[in-house]
Amino acid sequence: MNIAANPTDAIAQLYASHHAWLHAWLRRKLGCSHGAADLAQDVFVRILASRDALCGMREPRAYLTTTAQRLMVDRIRREVIERTYLAELAIVMENAPTHPSPEQILLTLEALGQIADLLAGVSAKAREAFLLHYLEERSHAEIAAQLQVSTRMVHKYLVQCLVQCAAARPD
């Protein structure tokens, strides 16, 4: 890719040259034009946020697809957390005579978002073990069977997640 002297020009050139292609690629992957448009915009916003990405970019389409795939994984992870929360909320709503206030729901969603951000630094299996254990209250043995690892590995995954959360906690 011929990088312009000005980073803004380089981003504009990258956008003009590859946005339509990226949108079409994402539409095929997602099966949804609106979702593809949103994700394509997110890719370019990510590139804008880290202008260093333009330095030495030899294969722009490879870079764009890698960035898009990472954003898709992030989006899927958040959707899983949201669905899990909503399922738990439905159970609580069925069993509880009182309903959580909108403020309680907002605080819970914010907390889940923060947890999702904190867990972005651990492996996918560690995140899954954490969610299964703390949100679905599964035992170490059940998680081990589902993830096809030992119970000792499940314990290590949970420790990794807790260490990650503790490291981010303000003193």
Residue 14 phi/psi, 5-degree rounding, is -60, -45
CA angle 136, 166, 152 (to 5 degrees): 55
Helix 33-49 crosses helix 7-30 at what angle (to 10 degrees)?
Answer: 150
Per-residue pLDDT of the chain (171 residues; tens, 9 = 90+): 444 557 677 888 888 999 999 999 999 988 989 989 999 999 988 888 776 666 667 888 998 999 999 999 888 888 888 888 888 888 877 776 667 788 888 888 888 888 888 888 889 899 899 989 988 889 999 999 999 999 999 999 999 888 887 777 665
Q: Which residues contact 2 (CB under 8 A, 6 or more apart)?
A: 13
Q: Give the 3-state secondary structure of residue 171.
A: coil
Domain ranges, ordered by start, for the chain: 1-73, 100-171
Contact present, 26 and 68 (Cβ < 8 Å): yes
Q: Domain 100-171 belongs to what topology?
A: Arc Repressor Mutant, subunit A (1.10.10)
What pTM did the predictor assign?
0.50
